[in-house]
Amino acid sequence: MEDQGVWEIMEPSGETSEQGAMAVAVAAAKDRKAKAHLLQCLPNDLLMQVDGKKTCKEVWDSMKARFVMADRVKEARLQTLKSKFDAMWMKEEEPLNQYVGSLTGMSVKYNNLGGRLDDAALEKNLFDTVLERFINVIVGIEQFYDLKKLPFEEAVVWLKAFEERTKRGAGGVRSDSRQLLLTQSEWETCQKKLVGEGSGGRRS
């Protein structure tokens, strides 16, 4: 609108270089021009909402109010989703896949509203809220990995591998609080094995 010389119609500064009838005529012409330009930019659903507005400034103020309110609604939704995300806890007997799906689903909704839940936020929530039987494998991950650089999917792979191994009861792994932590060399061996198994694609 600035290049058309009509911006002051929508956002008046309170100053005018014209006076009297001439000023009124100039302002009316600029208003018609600005309103025409503005209406050309609006989709049909918004055109219907401003159909009764007589001046360009009325149209402009209506649009500002609408989108300011939309931003406030979006911010409120983001706060609600973040509160729900922070309050999530894995339920007893809930499969890990199901719980991870709930976390990622919540993050998708949050991101779609313009928020941002990165891998580090997802990992922190996951590690803080899974069942106690995962605590030792989480301690191992935190000991040998930089969580700021660890992809969320890779952290999930470790927990899934632990869950499957404890289900099978293989290798003498125990799921109670007396389970021993793996040494660094054992972690590296396990990592190589997982990388080998996933060479055809990331495990899900």
Q: What is the 3-state secondary structure (H, E, C) of 45-106?
A: HHHHHCCCCCCHHHHHHHHHHHHHHHHHHHHHHHHHHHHHHHCCCCCCCCCHHHHHHHHHHH
| Contact call for residues 136 and 181 (beta carbons, < 8 A) | yes
Non-local CB neighbours of 177 within 8 Å, separated by 6+ positions: 132, 135, 136
Which of 119, 11, 104, 120 is CA-nearest to residue 56?
11
Non-local CB neighbours of 4 within 8 Å, separated by 6+ positions: 33, 34, 37
Left (φ > 0), alpha (ψ -120 to 50) or beta: where does 173 sit?
A: beta
pTM (2 decimals)? 0.54
| Contact call for residues 125 and 101 (beta carbons, < 8 A) | no
Each of the 204 residues of the chain gets a pLDDT tens digit; together they read 444 545 555 555 555 555 555 566 666 777 777 777 667 777 676 666 676 777 777 877 777 777 776 778 888 889 999 999 999 999 998 999 999 999 999 999 998 888 889 999 999 999 999 999 999 889 989 888 888 889 999 999 999 988 888 777 644 444 443 344 555 555 566 666 655 554 444 443
Non-local CB neighbours of 86 within 8 Å, separated by 6+ positions: 125
| Contact call for residues 179 and 173 (beta carbons, < 8 A) | yes
Angle at 123 between CA 142 and CA 115, to 5 degrees: 145
